Structures are given as structure tokens and as C-alpha cells.
């Protein structure tokens, strides 16, 4: 009987009802470089707002953003429940937004906290805010009730439907790259237009979707736990191509002096590293399927003309990719994780190559780009 009664007590010490939890949706982190004060924002889901579609005027806000200030994360943890009535539940947060100024100082402390806390996930994206984190954390999203959900879907869709972001944007990717000693480009977020929208009723009654909405743009390059630079959207495309992403992407590029609109999809990507003349030589083969259906001025009429056009585009793309490579090589941003590649594919030569701190400068990149037209414009003459 005593054993049975003891069994019934087991539920008392660790049972937590869902309603005792403050389910965190999004975390924002900022550190003032001058005062060193850390500000953490927890965007918490409001269960009283109901689970129907986006709120109409007069309804409750679907999320609340708490702001905590302190010297360290531990300081903040110490007083969270002086302000929050429920237990902080971090298991389901959908992303971390770090201010640019904090990213430029160091992300080390944040990563250690996330990695060592069993309640926090590392498979969620990390963003660097180009605008103040408070603005990003205090604005409502369009189409989705929960801003964190909107941001998660935005980055997922952008990754699948464009080459603007590499697939490695999760906290665990960042940690891995930092521990490997390479670099990573994570998405940057900023307000698309205007000021943050802090009332859900304003959001649902406003037609301008851009206004106060979070937008993903550019990539923040992080190396040694610090943001060391920024890549424009265009450069993110080249990085994504070289990384082997197979997403579809539409863009315009100058080819032989003319603007050409085209859509490309990488169908094959092969990367190989050799050790030649005391230098690592990385060979990347890219097979691209290209469609120029939208480009009125790039409509080949004969097979020879088509081959010529393909060659022109191939040359232009190769040139851009080489230019991008030389830029990141000069800055020593190992965004393509060549260090890991050398370690795995050249295990004997790796210690020698990597002994040099500036190993990336010694890497020689050979690109083999193949473009294959799958669709061209079907109008030979304008109407």
C-alpha cells in the first residue's frame, strides 16, 4: 500500500499543466556595447487570445513581449517570475533574433547558454537584426497570428524558393561552424517599412502589408562568434550556388552588356579537393538548368545561336562566382567550409595546410560551370 501511495505522489513533483507555462515563441537578445547591459525579449503566446484566425479589432493580442534587462543571462533568469506569472517554457521557441551590435561584439555567451540549456532547441534559426531588436520583437506579422511563426515560415519559404539564404541558418549550424573555425552567413531581419505595429487590431485593419512587417534581407557573416561582415542578397545567391543548393532562383544579370532575365536551378553539384604543388585545389562542378523565358532579348533562333547564348551565360556566371570567391578569400571568410572539406578529404595533408592560420589564401578554386537551356522565350518577335 505504501508503495502504491508513493507511486501516486510521483505526479506531484514534476507534473506541470499546460496552463502553468508561458510558451515562448521568439527570443530577442541585445547588448548595449557602451553600458554592457544585456536586454532579453521573450515573446510569449497569449492563450486567452483564442486559436482562431488573426485577431479583429478589440481582440486580445496573440502574443506579449516581455523585456528583461540585466548584466548577464543568469541575472535575468533570477527575476523573470517577478514580472511573469507563469513558468518560462523555452522548448518551443521558433527563433532567436540578435541585435547587430551584439553580434558584432560576441555571440559566445548566448551560444553557450542555448547549447547547455536542455530546454532550449538548437534546431531553430538565428537572425541578426538590422533594425533595433525591440522594434522587431514588438511588431505583429501579416497573415500569421504569431510573429515567430511568420518569421520561421518566411525563412523556410525563402530557402526553398530562392537562393537568397543557405540552408544552414540554425543555431546548431552556427555553433558547429564556430567550433570548426569556419564562417557562416545567417539571415538578417529588418522592418520592411515604417515603424513597428504594436496593436494587433492595427495590423488586421491595415492593407499595407509591408508597413511594420519583418523582412529578411542580406546575410550576416559570423566568424569566431562575431559578425564580421555582411553579404548582399546577390552575393548570398553566389554563396548558395557554390554551397550546392538546388532551389529555383530568378534574377537579372548583365550578359555581354545586356540585361538578361533568367531562372536557374542547380541540378548537380560536385565538390572535390586535391593537394597539388603544396596547395589545396578545390574543384566545384556546377550543372545549371537555365530558363530565359522571361527575357525578350535572349531568344535564340538556331541551335548554334543557343549554344552561343549558353556559353555567354556560363562565362558571365563563372565570372561572378569567381569574383565572389576572391572576395571571401581575401576576407578569409570560410563560408564554404573548406576547412572541414580539407580535414575529411585530405587527412594526411590537412595538418600541414591548416597549420597556417591564413589557409584560405592558399586554397585554389577551380570552377566548372555548365549551363543547359531548358526553356527559352517562345516569342521571336514582339507583338
Residues making contact with other proteins (CB under 8 A): 7-11, 14-19, 21, 23, 25, 45, 47-51, 89, 91-92, 94, 119, 146, 149
45: enclosing H helix or E strand: strand 38-45
CA neighbor of 308 nearest in space, from 298, 296, 317: 298
Find the shortest distance in angstroms from Cβ 89 to other proteins. 7
Residue 315 is placed in which grid cell?
562565362
When the beta carbons of 26 and 107 are compared against other proteins, the nearer one is 26
Across the chain, the runs of DSSP E, i.e. the strands, are: 21-31, 38-45, 63-70, 87-89, 96-99, 126-129, 183-191, 214-223, 226-231, 248-255, 258-276, 279-291, 364-375
When the beta carbons of 8 and 380 are compared against other proteins, the nearer one is 8
CA neighbor of 65 nearest in space, from 35, 39, 91: 39
When the beta carbons of 4 and 207 are compared against other proteins, the nearer one is 4
When the beta carbons of 115 and 287 are compared against other proteins, the nearer one is 115
Find the shortest distance in angstroms from Cβ 25 to other proteins. 8
Find the shortest distance in angstroms from Cβ 170 to other proteins. 16
* DSSP labels, 87-131: EEE-TT---EEEEHHHHHH--HHHHHHHHH-TTS-SSSBEEEESS
Tell me how far apart the alpha carbons of residues 364 and 231 are, in angstroms, rounded to a whole number: 22
Find the shortest distance in angstroms from Cβ 4 to other proteins. 10
When the beta carbons of 17 and 304 are compared against other proteins, the nearer one is 17
Find the shortest distance in angstroms from Cβ 52 to other proteins. 9
When the beta carbons of 17 and 34 are compared against other proteins, the nearer one is 17
Tell me how far apart the alpha carbons of residues 260 and 312 are, in angstroms, rounded to a whole number: 11
Question: Are 147 and 123 spatial neighbours (Cβ–Cβ below 8 Å)?
Answer: no
Tell me how far apart the alpha carbons of residues 261 and 251 are, in angstroms, rounded to a whole number: 6
Amino acid at each position: 500500500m505504501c508503495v502504491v501511495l508513493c507511486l501516486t505522489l510521483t505526479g506531484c513533483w514534476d507534473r506541470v499543466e499546460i496552463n502553468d507555462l508561458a510558451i515562448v515563441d521568439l527570443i530577442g537578445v541585445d547588448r548595449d556595447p557602451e553600458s554592457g547591459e544585456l536586454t532579453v525579449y521573450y515573446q510569449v503566446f497569449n492563450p486567452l487570445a483564442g486559436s482562431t484566425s488573426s485577431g479583429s479589432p478589440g481582440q486580445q493580442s496573440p502574443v506579449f513581449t516581455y523585456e528583461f534587462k540585466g548584466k548577464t543571462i543568469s541575472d535575468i533568469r533570477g527575476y523573470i517570475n517577478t514580472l511573469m506569472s507563469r513558468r518560462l517554457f523555452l522548448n518551443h521557441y521558433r527563433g532567436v533574433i540578435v541585435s547587430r551590435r551584439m553580434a558584432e561584439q560576441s555571440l559566445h555567451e548566448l551560444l553557450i547558454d542555448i547549447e547547455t540549456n536542455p530546454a532550449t532547441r538548437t534546431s531553430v534559426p538565428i537572425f541578426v537584426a538590422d533594425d533595433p531588436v525591440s522594434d522587431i520583437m514588438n511588431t505583429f506579422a501579416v497573415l500569421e497570428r504569431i510573429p515567430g511563426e511568420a518569421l520561421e515560415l518566411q525563412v523556410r519559404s525563402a530557402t526553398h524558393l530562392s537562393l537568397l539564404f543557405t540552408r544552414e541558418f540554425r543555431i546548431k549550424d552556427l555553433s558547429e561552424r564556430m567550433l570548426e573555425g569556419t564562417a557562416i552567413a545567417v539571415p538578417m531581419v529588418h522592418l520592411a517599412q515604417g515603424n513597428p505595429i504594436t496593436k494587433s487590431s492595427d495590423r488586421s485593419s491595415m492593407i499595407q502589408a509591408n508597413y511594420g512587417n519583418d523582412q529578411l534581407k542580406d546575410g550576416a557573416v559570423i566568424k569566431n562568434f562575431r559578425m564580421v561582415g555582411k553579404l548582399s542578397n546577390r552575393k548570398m545567391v553566389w554563396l548558395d550556388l557554390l554551397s550546392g543548393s538546388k532551389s529555383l532562383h530568378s534574377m537579372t544579370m548583365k550578359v555581354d552588356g545586356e540585361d538578361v532575365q533568367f531562372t536557374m536551378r542547380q541540378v548537380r553539384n560536385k565538390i572535390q579537393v586535391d593537394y597539388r604543388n603544396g596547395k589545396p585545389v578545390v574543384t566545384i562542378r556546377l550543372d545549371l538548368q537555365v530558363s530565359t523565358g522571361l527575357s525578350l532579348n535572349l531568344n535564340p533562333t538556331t541551335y548554334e545561336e543557343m549554344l552561343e547564348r549558353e556559353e555567354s551565360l556560363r562565362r558571365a556566371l563563372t565570372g561572378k562566382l569567381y569574383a565572389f570567391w576572391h572576395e571571401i578569400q581575401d576576407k578569409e571568410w570560410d563560408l564554404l567550409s573548406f576547412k572541414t572539406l580539407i580535414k575529411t578529404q585530405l587527412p594526411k595533408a590537412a595538418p600541414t595546410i591548416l597549420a597556417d592560420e591564413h589557409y584560405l589564401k592558399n586554397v585554389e578554386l577551380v570552377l566548372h560551370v555548365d549551363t543547359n537551356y531548358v526553356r527559352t522565350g517562345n516569342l521571336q518577335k514582339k507583338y
